[in-house]
Amino acid sequence: MTGKKKKLAFYSASGCRACDHLLLDLQGEIFSLEQAGEIVFWPYRDGTAWEELPSDLDVALFAGALRTEEDLLAAQRLRDRAQWLVAFGACAAFGGIPGLASLTSAPAEVTAGDPLLPSLTAEVMALEQAVPVDYQIPGCPPTDNLVWAALQALIGAAELPPRLGYAASRLPEPLASAITAGVLPPPGSIFAGEKAVCATCSTFFLRRSFS
């Protein structure tokens, strides 16, 4: 690889941590990823402290919904430091399962005054309800091929081992073409298929059931 390595941060707010585990599962490719990108901040894997977050971060992947004041502060810090901020997973993109907590008025007073419990925000928020977001990779967790496609685009590493065969068949054509060409898709792009998985499943049993 030539050129300066991109600085990457992965962070999880309020979620189940399976988004972090998806990234860990990609570790074979993550090794390749680290030829082009330097993972400088990943508290879940490395216990990285906020003091180690560079001021000139290139890409921040943010998983989990915003449920606590600490989540909100993390979103603001990463937005301030990163060129591209990505809502990673359904919780960050839409509120996800933690968002169900907004259906009750439970609350802030439950934790208020208890130093052992985190301070809750008034409502559970998706990332873009708190700070501007550049890209989304939805899914619970996102599929590994779509994540890999997004990472290749975001770090400008089209030459890394491709996993676009599956992803390209599900991504909108302009998005797949941009990634294949090593071009960053326009901000606001969503790294997801145009059809739900159920619409493309070829399971014989299901075909028989509905035929």
Which residues of the chain form contacts with ligand SF4 (CB under 6 A)?
15-16, 18-19, 63-64, 89-91, 96-97, 140-141
Residue 17 or 207 having the CB closest to ligand SF4 = 17
Q: How many CB atoms lie within 10 A of CB 2?
A: 5
Nearby residues of 155 by Cβ (< 8 Å), 6 or more positions away: 6, 8, 33, 36, 37, 58, 59
φ/ψ of 128, rounded to 5, equals -75, -5
Nearest to 92 by CA among 134, 151, 144: 134
Query: Residues 72, 77, 80, 85: is their CA dihedral positive or negative?
Result: negative
Q: How far is the CB of 207 from ligand SF4 (least distance, A)?
A: 28
Contact 20/12 with Cβ under 8 angstroms? Answer: yes
Of 96 and 185, the one with the shorter C-beta distance to ligand SF4 is 96
- Residue whose CB is less far from ligand SF4, 181 or 198: 198
Output 19 or 157, the one with its CB closest to ligand SF4: 19
Smallest distance, ligand SF4 to C-beta of residue 37, A: 21
Contact 181, 152 (CB under 8 A): no
- The least CB distance from residue 185 to ligand SF4, in Å, is 21
Nearest-CB residue for ligand SF4:
15
Q: How far is the CB of 163 from ligand SF4 (least distance, A)?
A: 20
**Complex with ligand SF4: residue 143 or 152, whichever CB lies closer:** 143
Nearest 5°: CA angle at 31, between 28 and 37? 135
**Secondary structure of residue 110 in the 3-state scheme:** helix
Nearest-approach distance from CB 56 to ligand SF4, in angstroms? 27
